[in-house]
């Protein structure tokens, strides 16, 4: 597939476009293609990797659809947005094959802890936003107290 695509690019490059706008479009197309490089054909090297955006959307849609049915919301729930880096790959991988307790026990615990810490950091802005919306005065008062403590000498 990559050889066929390279031949197409060579034909575009070699063809003398009759007009300046066509030459500019061909040059832009070749430049963008070159910037993507080997990433364009990764789906042919990795077995099971979706070949098109539509295939990939189908997989993610398979995750969103049950959530929409359970929650009744059209948009993705906040938990999917915040925990997406963990939930989406897990949901897609678990559709491919079932995981056993032995698979889960073999996980690098240090990597798992780093992932948990990263996910906790992603939750923090939502938690702070919720605290502000529930009681803005108390939240602002607490911030002022922290600022005063920082500005005082030790």
Please indicate, yes or no, whether residues 57 and 93 belong to a single structural domain of this protein.
Answer: yes
Q: Write the pLDDT tens digit of every residue in 2-54.
A: 888 888 888 877 776 677 888 888 888 888 888 877 777 777 777 777 777 78
Q: Are 67 and 80 in contact (CB under 8 A)?
A: yes
Q: State whether 123 and 92 are in the same domain.
A: no
- Residues whose CB is less than 8 angstroms from the CB of residue 64 and which lie 6 or more positions away in sequence, other chains included: 76, 80
**pTM of the complete model:** 0.40
Q: How far is Cα 23 from Cα 30, in angstroms, rounded to an integer?
A: 11
Domain check: are 88 and 124 in the same one? no
CA–CA separation, 83 and 32 (whole Å): 32
Let me know whether 150 and 111 are in one domain: yes
Three-state DSSP at 77 gives coil
Cα(first)–Cα(last) distance of the chain, in Å?
68
CA 101 vs. chain centroid, Å, equals 27
Q: What is the pLDDT of residues 104-137, one digit of tens each?
A: 788 888 988 998 888 888 778 878 888 888 888 9
Q: Are 154 and 111 in the same domain? A: yes
Q: Are residues 92 and 133 in the same domain?
A: no
**What is the tally of structural domains in the chain?**
3
- Domain around 128: 107-154
The reply to whether 71 and 28 lie within a common domain is no
| Dist. CA 70–CA 126, nearest whole Å | 22
């Amino acid at each position: 597939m990559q050889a066929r695509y390279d031949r197409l690019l060579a034909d575009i490059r070699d063809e003398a476009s009759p007009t300046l706008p066509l030459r500019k479009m061909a040059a832009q197309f070749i430049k963008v293609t070159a910037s993507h490089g080997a990433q364009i054909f990764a789906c042919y090297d990795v077995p099971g990797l979706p070949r098109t955006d539509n295939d990939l959307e189908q997989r993610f849609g398979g995750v969103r659809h049950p959530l929409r049915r359970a929650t009744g919301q059209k948009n993705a729930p906040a938990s999917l947005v915040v925990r997406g880096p963990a939930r989406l790959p897990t949901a897609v991988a678990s559709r491919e094959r079932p995981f056993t307790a032995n698979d889960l026990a073999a996980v690098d615990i240090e990597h798992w802890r780093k992932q948990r810490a990263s996910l906790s950091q992603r939750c923090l802005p939502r938690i702070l936003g919720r605290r502000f919306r529930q009681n803005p005065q108390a939240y602002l008062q607490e911030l002022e107290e922290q600022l005063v403590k920082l500005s005082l000498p030790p």
